[in-house]
Amino acid sequence: MSSPTTAGDTAVRGKSFSWRFTTPLFIGSALNPINSSMIATALVPIATGLHVPIGQTASLVTALYLASAIAQPTAGKVAAVFGARRVFLTGIILVLLGGVLGGVAQNLPMVLIARVLIGLGTSCAYPSAMMLIQRRAKAAGMEKPPGGVLGGLQIAGLATAALGLPIGGVLVETAGWRWVFLVNVPVALIALAAALIWIPRDPAQNERKGIRSVLSSIDLTGIIGFSLAMIALLLFLFSLQDPNWIMLAAAVVLFATLTLWELRATSPFIDVRLLVRNAALTRTYLRYALIALCVYVVMYGITQWMEAARGTSALSAGLLLLPMSVISGVVVAPISRRNLVRGPVVIAAIASLAGSIGVLFLTSSTSIVWIVVITVIFGVVLGTASSGNQLALYTQAPPEQLGVASGLFRTFGYIGSIASSAITGIVFHTSVTDSGVHTIGLIMIGVSIVAIAFTIFDRTLRAPSRTAPQA
């Protein structure tokens, strides 16, 4: 039994999570969601500037999603073997390289490589940050880190996604599309310097491992199998407008093969037995993917409808999403400070249903106020879902697998995001109409109801501390 916390203990723990330690982690974690959405405003200018068809620039969106969905859990696994700080710093350097390459690119392949580098680099931040926070809490004798730390990471890592559109719009209109890439350079330099100075070095490894031992420790075969399976699945989701059934079949075969391999692996990349035994963690992943689908439909689908059906400019449409970012950030803080789980995820699912019903009332002549109301509702959804599910993840995942578990959490978010893109692509295939946005609303209602079921009937959310990792 732990002893009562004294004022001295509180001071020590507060110092452990000072702004110096958390600042580079927050900056690094914000780079991925902002870059994910920022590119949307630059696709047309890139096509014009490089003299390529607009359809080809869509690969820039796909590239970052594919790279991120694969790299997030991979970074967590590699960080567990080589050290979280090393992986974090490596990721920042990749972002720096991607920003420079994109800024000087002379053709689409160069821009595509820049996006992949940014996707790989930004994906290192969140899982390694979660591991660094966990290590810091253990050193300070805490079962869990201060709620504000996880909340700040959540704001930086997810609630900032909606900021990418207005930031990208301003950069493209004032400085040109290259600054969508170049803006990463100064930010990455700041994060790199802060991490080098303020994040403690990784613990020294007591034994030197040979190449074969290292490959076994990170389960390279499992990582490759997971990568191939995810590529096949995501390509199928991107093709839903004209389904590529071969990709779906390949994904099923690859995931089945991966499962068989991971069941026999000494140090599995994806612990299949854990996902089966720990149904609570699996439900957290699924619940988050469902909510992410609805949030991203609003972020991209409703934005597309505003531009096509209402004649709203890309910059104005992006600015209309600012309430979502602001509200989500405001909501995360008090929830995280209190380490709440069940209440927030219940509110997220119910609010998602309410906001989805609100989408049914959108028309070309709807007041802009109603659109803002919907974005505010989904700001609540984003804030409550991200903070509640992240704390659930932290308490449900075994400490030694937190990096991979955190990466998978993000991967499921990407699956929801890509599914939302596929849905809007199918519904708006021929034209963007009011009836189409109403169809999207009905789909969102169905998804929200499933999310409510995953939440209301999940008894493990009532007492998440029972599975909390011990310091």
Q: For residue range 176-200, what is the model confidence (pLDDT) as tens digits?
A: 999 999 999 999 999 999 999 999 9
Q: List Cβ<8 Å contacts ≥24 apart for 430-434.
A: 431/308, 432/304, 432/305, 432/308, 432/309, 433/309, 434/309, 434/362, 434/363, 434/364
What are the tokens at 217? 């420790």
Flag whether pLDDT at 82 surpasses 50. yes
The chain-wide mean pLDDT, for the chain, equals 85
Are 155 and 224 within one domain? no
Are 248 and 282 within one domain? no
- Domain-terminating residue out of 228, 249, 264: 264
- Domain-terminating residue out of 230, 246, 264: 264
Residue 304 in any domain: the answer is: yes
Comparing CA positions, the residue from 78, 179, 57, 163 lying closest to residue 123 is 78
Are 318 and 416 within one domain? yes
Q: How far apart are CA 123 and CA 304, in angstroms?
A: 27
Residue 445 in any domain: the answer is: yes
Flag whether pLDDT at 468 surpasses 70. no
Contact 444, 296 (CB under 8 A): no
Are 260 and 272 within one domain? no
A 10 A CB-CB count for 458 gives 18
**The domain containing residue 180 runs over which residues?**
18-200+212-219+265-467
Q: How far apart are CA 281 and CA 341, in angstroms?
A: 13
Helices (H), 39-83: 43-50, 58-82
Between 233 and 90, the more confident residue is 90
- C-alpha distances (whole Å) from 75 to each of 161, 224, 402 are 21, 13, 11
Are 157 and 228 within one domain? no
Comparing CA positions, the residue from 429, 428, 447, 430 lying closest to residue 438 is 428
Residue 110 in any domain: the answer is: yes
Residue 206 in any domain: the answer is: no
Chain center to CA of 263: 27
Decide: helix, strand or coil at residue 87: helix
Share of the chain above pLDDT 90, in %: 40
Residue 207 in any domain: the answer is: no
Flag whether pLDDT at 6 surpasses 60. no
Instruction: Identify the pLDDT of residue 90.
Output: 97
Instruction: Identify the pLDDT of residue 182.
Output: 96
pLDDT digits (tens, 9 = 90+) for 220-271: 899 999 999 989 988 888 777 788 899 999 999 999 999 999 998 888 888 8
The pLDDT confidence band at residue 7, using thresholds 50, 70 and 90, is very low
Contact 88, 26 (CB under 8 A): no
| Burial zone of 236 (CB within 10 Å; 0-12 exposed, 13-18 middle, 19+ buried) | buried
- Domain-terminating residue out of 247, 264, 281: 264
Chain center to CA of 373: 24
Residue 163 in any domain: the answer is: yes
What are the tokens at 300? 């991209």
What are the tokens at 430? 């021929």
The number of CA neighbours under 13 Å toward the Cβ of 9 is 11
pLDDT digits (tens, 9 = 90+) for 120-136: 999 999 999 999 999 99
Q: How far apart are CA 56 and CA 230, in angstroms?
A: 22
Are 239 and 373 within one domain? no
Q: What does the DSSP 8-state code read for residue 310? A: S
Residue 460 in any domain: the answer is: yes
CATH number where 291 lies: 1.20.1250.20
Are 132 and 184 within one domain? yes
Are 118 and 140 within one domain? yes
Q: How far apart are CA 119 and CA 74, in angstroms?
A: 13
What residues contact 256, with CB distance under 8 A and at least 6 apart? none
How many structural domains comprise the chain? 2
- C-alpha distances (whole Å) from 397 to each of 70, 305, 469 are 19, 39, 7
Are 252 and 367 within one domain? no
Are 138 and 148 within one domain? yes
Comparing CA positions, the residue from 215, 214, 246 lying closest to residue 233 is 246
Decide: helix, strand or coil at residue 287: helix
Are 418 and 316 within one domain? yes
Comparing CA positions, the residue from 222, 231, 220, 216 lying closest to residue 257 is 222
Are 240 and 112 within one domain? no
Residue 9 in any domain: the answer is: no
